[in-house]
Protein backbone atom coordinates (compact mmCIF):
# COMPACT_ATOMS: atom_id res chain seq x y z
CA UNK A 1 0.00 0.00 0.00
CA UNK A 2 1.26 3.47 -0.87
CA UNK A 3 1.09 6.09 1.79
CA UNK A 4 2.66 8.12 4.53
CA UNK A 5 3.50 6.65 7.91
CA UNK A 6 4.30 8.53 11.08
CA UNK A 7 5.64 7.14 14.30
CA UNK A 8 5.12 7.00 17.13
CA UNK A 9 1.41 7.73 17.44
CA UNK A 10 1.98 9.26 20.90
CA UNK A 11 5.23 10.69 22.24
CA UNK A 12 6.06 12.00 25.66
CA UNK A 13 8.80 14.54 26.24
CA UNK A 14 10.51 15.45 29.47
CA UNK A 15 11.81 18.93 30.20
CA UNK A 16 15.08 19.64 28.40
CA UNK A 17 14.79 16.60 26.17
CA UNK A 18 15.02 16.46 22.39
CA UNK A 19 12.62 14.09 20.66
CA UNK A 20 12.43 12.95 17.04
CA UNK A 21 9.25 12.26 15.09
CA UNK A 22 9.48 9.91 12.15
CA UNK A 23 7.84 10.40 8.75
CA UNK A 24 8.21 7.95 5.87
CA UNK A 25 6.49 7.90 2.48
CA UNK A 26 6.50 5.36 -0.34
CA UNK A 27 4.63 7.54 -2.83
CA UNK A 28 7.83 8.59 -4.60
CA UNK A 29 6.93 12.21 -3.83
CA UNK A 30 9.63 14.85 -4.05
CA UNK A 31 8.29 17.35 -1.53
CA UNK A 32 7.61 16.74 2.14
CA UNK A 33 6.20 19.00 4.85
CA UNK A 34 5.82 19.19 8.62
CA UNK A 35 2.86 20.95 10.23
CA UNK A 36 1.80 21.62 13.76
CA UNK A 37 -1.90 21.64 14.69
CA UNK A 38 -3.22 23.20 17.89
CA UNK A 39 -6.88 23.18 18.99
CA UNK A 40 -8.92 25.85 17.22
CA UNK A 41 -6.08 26.74 14.88
CA UNK A 42 -5.31 25.72 11.37
CA UNK A 43 -2.22 23.83 10.37
CA UNK A 44 0.97 25.85 10.68
CA UNK A 45 4.00 25.00 8.59
CA UNK A 46 7.20 24.14 10.47
CA UNK A 47 9.60 23.01 7.74
CA UNK A 48 9.40 21.75 4.19
CA UNK A 49 11.71 20.05 1.73
CA UNK A 50 11.38 19.98 -2.03
CA UNK A 51 14.33 17.70 -2.77
CA UNK A 52 16.79 15.50 -0.93
CA UNK A 53 19.44 17.35 1.09
CA UNK A 54 17.49 20.61 0.94
CA UNK A 55 14.88 22.07 3.28
CA UNK A 56 13.37 25.44 4.10
CA UNK A 57 11.96 27.02 7.24
CA UNK A 58 8.23 27.47 7.44
CA UNK A 59 6.29 29.92 9.55
CA UNK A 60 7.13 28.48 12.98
CA UNK A 61 10.56 26.82 12.65
CA UNK A 62 12.05 28.03 15.94
CA UNK A 63 12.78 25.14 18.29
CA UNK A 64 12.59 22.52 15.54
CA UNK A 65 15.09 20.90 13.19
CA UNK A 66 14.82 18.52 10.23
CA UNK A 67 16.94 16.48 7.85
CA UNK A 68 16.27 15.06 4.40
CA UNK A 69 18.95 12.46 3.65
CA UNK A 70 16.60 10.17 1.73
CA UNK A 71 13.67 10.89 -0.54
CA UNK A 72 11.40 8.65 1.54
CA UNK A 73 12.20 10.09 4.96
CA UNK A 74 11.80 13.50 6.61
CA UNK A 75 12.28 13.29 10.40
CA UNK A 76 11.45 16.21 12.67
CA UNK A 77 13.31 16.89 15.92
CA UNK A 78 11.60 18.92 18.59
CA UNK A 79 14.40 20.47 20.59
CA UNK A 80 14.47 21.68 24.19
CA UNK A 81 14.33 25.22 22.77
CA UNK A 82 10.69 24.67 21.81
CA UNK A 83 8.95 25.88 24.96
CA UNK A 84 5.42 24.83 24.07
CA UNK A 85 5.75 21.57 22.15
CA UNK A 86 2.42 19.98 23.10
CA UNK A 87 0.52 19.64 19.81
CA UNK A 88 -0.54 17.29 17.04
CA UNK A 89 2.22 16.99 14.42
CA UNK A 90 1.37 16.15 10.84
CA UNK A 91 3.67 15.16 8.01
CA UNK A 92 2.61 15.57 4.38
CA UNK A 93 4.04 14.92 0.94
CA UNK A 94 3.33 16.23 -2.52
CA UNK A 95 3.98 14.76 -5.96
CA UNK A 96 6.21 16.65 -8.31
CA UNK A 97 4.33 16.53 -11.59
CA UNK A 98 2.94 19.72 -13.07
CA UNK A 99 -0.53 20.65 -11.92
CA UNK A 100 -0.57 18.56 -8.80
CA UNK A 101 -0.58 20.99 -5.90
CA UNK A 102 -2.28 18.86 -3.31
CA UNK A 103 -0.60 17.46 -0.25
CA UNK A 104 -1.32 14.09 1.31
CA UNK A 105 -1.08 13.63 5.05
CA UNK A 106 0.09 10.97 7.43
CA UNK A 107 -1.90 9.91 10.52
CA UNK A 108 -0.07 12.30 12.87
CA UNK A 109 1.92 12.13 16.10
CA UNK A 110 0.58 13.59 19.31
CA UNK A 111 3.36 15.05 21.45
CA UNK A 112 2.78 15.56 25.14
CA UNK A 113 5.06 17.10 27.75
CA UNK A 114 5.54 15.30 31.07
Question: What is the binding site for other proteins (CB under 8 A)?
Answer: 4, 6, 31, 40-43, 45, 48, 50, 56, 58, 88, 90, 94, 99, 101-108, 110
Q: How far is the CB of 22 from other proteins (least distance, A)?
A: 14
Specify the residue, 16 or 40, whose C-beta has the smaller distance to other proteins: 40
Query: Pairing state of beta strands 19-25 and 4-7?
Result: antiparallel
Specify the residue, 6 or 82, whose C-beta has the smaller distance to other proteins: 6
Write the CA distances from 66 to 39, 41, 73, 100, integer angstroms: 24, 23, 10, 24
Distance CA 31, CA 49 (A): 5
Amino acid sequence: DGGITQSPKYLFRKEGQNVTLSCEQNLNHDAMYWYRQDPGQGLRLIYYSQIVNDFQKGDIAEGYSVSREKKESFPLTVTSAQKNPTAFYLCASRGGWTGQETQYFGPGTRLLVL
